[in-house]
Structure 1
C-alpha cells in the first residue's frame, strides 16, 4: 500500500553463513590432515576437498599451507596457552598442590580440544620448516617456559621450593609433562597397554615436588 514500508522479507543469502565459516572449516580440515599425514605430505587440494570447497576458493583465504599452520597456532594453540597462563597467574601459596592442578587442567584441555597433534608435527618437521618452528617456539614454547619459571621462582621466594636453576627446572617439568600427550598421540595409539594419564600425572606431580624440594601433597600421594 502507498505510504507503508515494504514489509516483505528479503530473501536470505543462501551462502552468507557458510562464507563466514569457511576460514574455520578450512583450518579444521587442514589441522586434521596435518596431524594424520604430516605437514609435508598434505596437499592443498586435499585440504580443499576435505573442507568441501575448490582449491581456488581455498587460496582466497590462505596463501599456502604455512599460512594455514600459522593461523591454527594463533587461533587454537595460543588461546589455550593463554588460558593456562591466566590460571598460573591466579595461583597463591602453597604452590606444590597447584602443580597437580596445573598438570590435570593442561591434560583435560589437551583431550577436550585435541591440541597435542600440532606440537608433535612441528617437532617431527622442524628441520624442514625452520621459520614455522621458530614461530612456534617464540609464541608458545618460550611463553610456557616463562610461565613455569615464574611459578618456580615465586615458590623459591616464598620459601616453599628449593631450586638453583629455575629456568631449566621449568624445561624439565614441561618436557616430562609433554611426553604424555606426545606418546598418546603417536605410539600410544597402537599400544596394547595405553598410558594411564591419571597415574602418569600423579607420578609427575610427586617427581616435580621432589625436584623442587617441596613436601609431596596428599593429593599427589592419592593419585598414585
Structure 2
C-alpha cells in the first residue's frame, strides 16, 4: 500500500511544519480568524496531531514568535557576548542584522500581527513584551552603558538611546507590511540601518571640551 506524505514525515519535523502553516495563516487571516482546523489542513496533518505539540492557538503563536523573532534576540546576545573592543563597532552590525531579518524573514509580519491583535488578545502582547522586548532592550541598554563607562560615548540616557537606535527598524516594519503593499516605494532597510548607525555614532561621540 502506498504511504501518504503525512505518514512519511518524521515526527521531529512536524512542529516546524505546524508553525510554518500557522504563521502563513496568521498573516493572511489574522489571529482571531484562524482556526486550528485551518492550520491542520495547511500543514497536511490532523487537528489531533497539532494537540500533540501545542495546547491551543495561543501556544501556536507563542511558538511562531519564539521560532522567528526570539531566536534573533539570541543571535544578538551571542554577538554582544563575543564582542571585544569599541561598542561603536558593534552597533552597526546589530542594526544590519535586524535589517536583514526584516528583509529576509517574516519578522515584520509577526510584529505587525502582535500590534494588531494585542488589544483583543493582551496575552499576545504581554508574551512579546517579555520574550522579545524584555530581552532586547536591556541588552542594548547594557551596551550603551558600557560605551559611556569607557568614555567612548558621551553621557546619555541609555533607555532613550536604545529606543532612538531601534526606532527606524520599527518604521521599516510598518513600511514593509502596510505601505509597500499599497504601492509605497520599496524601502532599502539595510541602507536605512547603515545610515542610522552613522547618525547615532556621530551623536554619541563625546562632546569636545571647548577649553582645549
Please give the TM-score of this superposition, normalised by the length of structure 2: 0.84
Aligned with 1:44 (options 36, 52, 63): 36
Distance across 1 between alignment mates of 2:30 and 2:205 = 41
Question: 1:59, 1:86 → 2: CA distance?
Answer: 33
Match of 1:148 among 140, 159, 177: 140
Are residues 1:169 and 2:189 paired? Answer: no
2:153 match: secondary structure: coil
State the distance in 1 between where 2:109 and 2:10 align: 27
Q: Distance in 1 between matches of 2:83 and 2:134?
A: 20
Distance in 1 separating the partners of 2:73 and 2:11: 29
Report the Cα offset of residue 164 of structure 1. Answer: 2.7
- Is contact 1:93–1:155 with CA below 8 Å preserved after alignment? no
Distance, in Å, in 2 between the alignment partners of 1:195 and 1:107 is: 11
CA contact (8 A) 1:96 1:209 kept: yes
Q: What is the Cα-based RMSD across aligned positions, in Å?
A: 2.2
1: CA distance between counterparts of 2:206 and 2:195? 14
Q: How far has the Cα of 1:214 moved from its partner? A: 5.9
Shift of 1:16: 5.9
The reply to whether residue 56 of structure 1 matches residue 79 of structure 2 is no
Once residues 189 and 211 of structure 1 are traced to their aligned partners in structure 2, the CA distance between those partners, rounded to angstroms, is: 34
Displacement of 1:67 in angstroms is: 0.9
Q: What 5-or-longer segments of structure 2 have no aligned partner?
A: 1-5, 208-212
Stretch of structure 1 that moved more, 45-54 or 173-182: 173-182
Higher relative contact order (CA 8 A, sep 6+): 2
TM-aligned CA deviation for residue 192 of structure 1: 4.4
Moved over 4 A (4+): none
Distance between the aligned counterparts of 2:34 and 2:79, measured in 1?
Answer: 35
Q: Deviations over 1:39-60 (max 9, x none)?
A: 1122222111111123333233
TM-score (norm 1): 0.80
The answer (yes or no) to whether the contact 2:95–2:194 under 8 Å persists in 1 is no
Q: Supply the distance in 1 between the matched residues of 2:137 and 2:167 (Cα, whole angstroms).
A: 10
Aligned residue pairs, count: 202
Query: Does the 8 Å CA contact 2:68/2:106 hold for their aligned counterparts?
Result: no
Higher mean Cα deviation, 154-163 or 51-60? 51-60
Is structure 2 residue 71 aligned with structure 1 residue 79?
yes
Q: 1:25 to 1:97 in 2, by over 3 A?
A: same
